[in-house]
Amino acid sequence: MTGSIQVIGVQGLPLIHAGDDVAALVCERLPVNDGDILCIASTIYSKSKGYTKSLAAITPTERAVRLGKLNGEDPRFVQAVLDASTDIIMEHPFILSELSFGHIGVRAGVDQSNIEDGMVIFLPPEPMKAADDVRKRIKEISGKDVGVIITDTCGRSFRRGQTGNAIGWSGMTAIRDFRGDTDLFGHVLKITEEAVVDEIAGFSNFVMGESNNGVPAVVFRNCPSWTGHDNLYFSGEEDITRRVLKKEWS
């Protein structure tokens, strides 16, 4: 685990629209190397696949109208959030919900920024496949083996401030598993599993910025590799916070 890691924001990408080939647009601007890790903002992946909707095309249900009033939000936006969710964990002061792929997020990760007025962007419905598709496409275009992480900016519990999270990944495991390793004093580690994909997504988010930076893709070069597993999301049983919140809100 030595060497210096290079972090490169991909400059000069255009505004992304449905039908755009994100992998090709990135490769045209930054020649990738074997072993690179490419982080892509879910926003542009979703725009390229048309996972967007016009608020004008949404008819809110009674629940969306109620929650819109409760939280001071457009009921059509609330409906989009409900549609993207498989389970509502908290209704107020904001909707916290679970998505089909296991992610739990504020407003189901539905965004109204970095798209035209009156439009919403959904998270990719199958982000693991999304990361895999981008990875395969890059291999096809460049012949290079890269890892891909689809990211989103997410709020978190206990601390102020949003950070980048991994929503989908391919070419790596989500978690670096330290269990069974010995520390500097010979103690066997029993608990430590490091969510490496989230750490990388977090730093990529710093390079991307949130507003008008126009950098939705970031390459990490010379990262050491790691081994572990992909069980990033707690099961319902394991997730104590979720269980407590559900008790409170259901």
Instruction: Give the residues lining the site for ligand GDP (CB under 6 A).
Output: 13-16, 41-44, 47, 111, 113-114, 152-153, 208-210, 212-216
Residues 215, 9 contacting (CB under 8 angstroms):
yes
> Taking the complex as a whole, how short is the minimal distance between the CB of residue 173 and Mn ion, in angstroms?
24
Tell me which of ligand GDP, Mn ion, none is bound by residue 212, counting a contact when its beta carbon lies within the kind-specific cut-off of 5 to 8 angstroms.
Answer: ligand GDP
The span from the CA of 111 to the CA of 97, in Å, is 14
- In the bound state with Mn ion, the residue whose beta carbon lies nearer, of 44 and 196, is 44
DSSP symbol at 39: E
> Taking the complex as a whole, how short is the minimal distance between the CB of residue 10 and ligand GDP, in angstroms?
9
Laid out side by side, the sheet with 37-41 consists of 6-9, 217-221, 37-41, 147-154, 163-170
> Taking the complex as a whole, how short is the minimal distance between the CB of residue 11 and Mn ion, in angstroms?
17
Residues 174-213 that bind Mn ion (CB under 5 A): 210
Structure tokens at 175: 């978690």
Q: What are the residue ranges of helices labelled H in the chain?
A: 22-29, 42-49, 62-71, 75-84, 127-142, 196-208, 240-249
Instruction: Tally helices (H) and strands (E) across the chain.
Output: 7, 13
> Taking the complex as a whole, how short is the minimal distance between the CB of residue 178 and Mn ion, in angstroms?
29
> Taking the complex as a whole, how short is the minimal distance between the CB of residue 188 and ligand GDP, in angstroms?
38
- In the bound state with ligand GDP, the residue whose beta carbon lies nearer, of 41 and 228, is 41
Establish if 111 lies at the interface with Mn ion (CB under 5 A): yes
Tell me which of Mn ion, ligand GDP, none is bound by residue 215, counting a contact when its beta carbon lies within the kind-specific cut-off of 5 to 8 angstroms.
Answer: ligand GDP
Tell me which of Mn ion, ligand GDP, none is bound by residue 213, counting a contact when its beta carbon lies within the kind-specific cut-off of 5 to 8 angstroms.
Answer: ligand GDP
Tell me which of ligand GDP, Mn ion, none is bound by residue 142, counting a contact when its beta carbon lies within the kind-specific cut-off of 5 to 8 angstroms.
Answer: none
DSSP symbol at 167: E
- In the bound state with ligand GDP, the residue whose beta carbon lies nearer, of 176 and 204, is 204
The span from the CA of 214 to the CA of 190, in Å, is 42
The span from the CA of 88 to the CA of 93, in Å, is 13
- In the bound state with ligand GDP, the residue whose beta carbon lies nearer, of 98 and 111, is 111
Amino acid at 76: R
